Amino acid sequence: MTRIPVQARSPVSAHGAADGGRPAAGPGTAVLDAAALQALAEDIRRWGRELGFQQVGISGTDLGEHPAHLEKWLEAGHHADMEWLREPKRVDPAALKPGTRRVISLRMDYLPAEPRIHQILQDGSRAYIARYALGRDYHKIIRPRLQRLADRIAAEIGPFGYRAFVDSAPVLEKALASQAGLGWMGKHTVIINRRAGSYFFLGELFTDLPLPVDVPVSNHCGSCQACIDICPTKAIVAPYVLDAGKCISYLTIEYRGVIPVELRRPIGNRIFGCDDCQLVCPWNRYAQASQEPGFTPRHAFDGPPLLNLWDWDEATWLEQTAGMPLRRMNYTSWVRNLSIALGNAPASTEALTALTKRFSALETAGQLDEVLREHLLWAMAEQRDKLARLSPPPLR
């Protein structure tokens, strides 16, 4: 999610095999003339749609200005502690799959039919989870579809060289999607499609086929800066520049440490990811509900009371989150994030009691590490202050 949501990691193997599937050949790829390649490109788009993707685009391997933008972003330290983003192969598709001449980028929508974003965010007693993470892990849905697409291409033309990716290896997937005409990079650094908004996943097939390429679309953000203005932690420090160290998606998903005090209240009830910058984007009025059954929200995670989730021990958490994007975090981060949300919740003796009991239990068991101690103490203090303000002043 990061997929810092999060368009929004596990590559298909370097030889084109999908987790033990049939390897795709490199040498011996069929030689096709221009007309045959054009027809094949149209077939690939059709096969992609038949496999549940909403759009398919094709680009070359030149990433334009994106590598320079990435380098500047890294030099500014906006990547927080995500040092893996420095991987040099990220800016060179051919380094990830030698012989790559084209990249087939595919889009799959994920927005639930009833997203209820406003409703949940405005109820501080409930947990908000980024809409992409409410169902099955998208890697498990998209990766096999990419393999099936590769198999279909091979059935048509014979063996060819390819490698498939789903938000896994060091791929600049948003840059590739932009080059392939799937959308433009918004000021919040998420790809926007003028007919579908931004609530979608991306997947790629790197291939040695010299397919005709699509034309990138122009930027349609104009003077709008709604995403910049709405960000709770002001993580979008300039148009097209996101400071990951302030981003709620990064803090609640990727980061494992102590969240700065000044960012805790702005996090609100968001326990995994954040959708605010997408929520206010005018182009998301065109976002379509996903038709993929795997992305249907699991009831236990679609805006449940915070205290319901607080009761889960680690075994329950592992059972409930099996096969979900929520496994990107660990159980300690889950408790940390819930602690912040309970501290931000409306004044509640039940919340304070639950926090106090968890603190005592962890301390007694010798399991109260620095991260949990800090956030539990903060949350308890927040609840005590709110409850004190509700109490009537003493009579004199």
Residue 27, CB-side half-sphere exposure with 13 Å CA sphere = 0
Q: Which residues are annotated as a binding site for [4Fe-4S] cluster?
A: 221, 224, 227, 231, 247, 274, 277, 281
Q: Is residue 214 flagged as an active site residue?
A: no
* Rounded Cα gap, residues 31 and 11, in angstroms: 27
What CA–CA distances, in Å, run from 308 to 23, 301, 340, 350, 354? 46, 10, 15, 12, 11
285: alpha, beta or left, given left = phi > 0 and alpha = psi -120 to 50?
alpha
**Distance (Å, rounded) from C-alpha 199 to C-alpha 278?**
8
User: Which residues lie closer than 8 Å to 146 by C-beta, 6 or more apart?
Assistant: 12, 18, 106, 164, 166, 203, 204, 205
Catalytic residue among 167, 243, 276, 302: 167
DSSP letters along 71-123, please?
Answer: HHHHHTTTTTT-GGGG-GGGG-HHHHSTT--EEEEEEEE---SS--HHHHHT-
Beta-strand pair 128-129/270-272:
parallel
At 173, the amino acid letter reads E
Q: Confirm if 97 and 14 have CB atoms less than 8 A apart.
A: yes
CA gap 112, 296 in Å, rounded: 6
* Helices 138-157 and 34-50: angle between axes, nearest 10 degrees: 150
Contact assessment for residue 332 and residue 372, using Cβ atoms and an 8 Å cutoff: yes
Give yes or no for a contact between 5 and 189, defined as CB atoms under 8 angstroms apart.
no
Q: Which sequence positions are flagged as catalytic?
A: 167
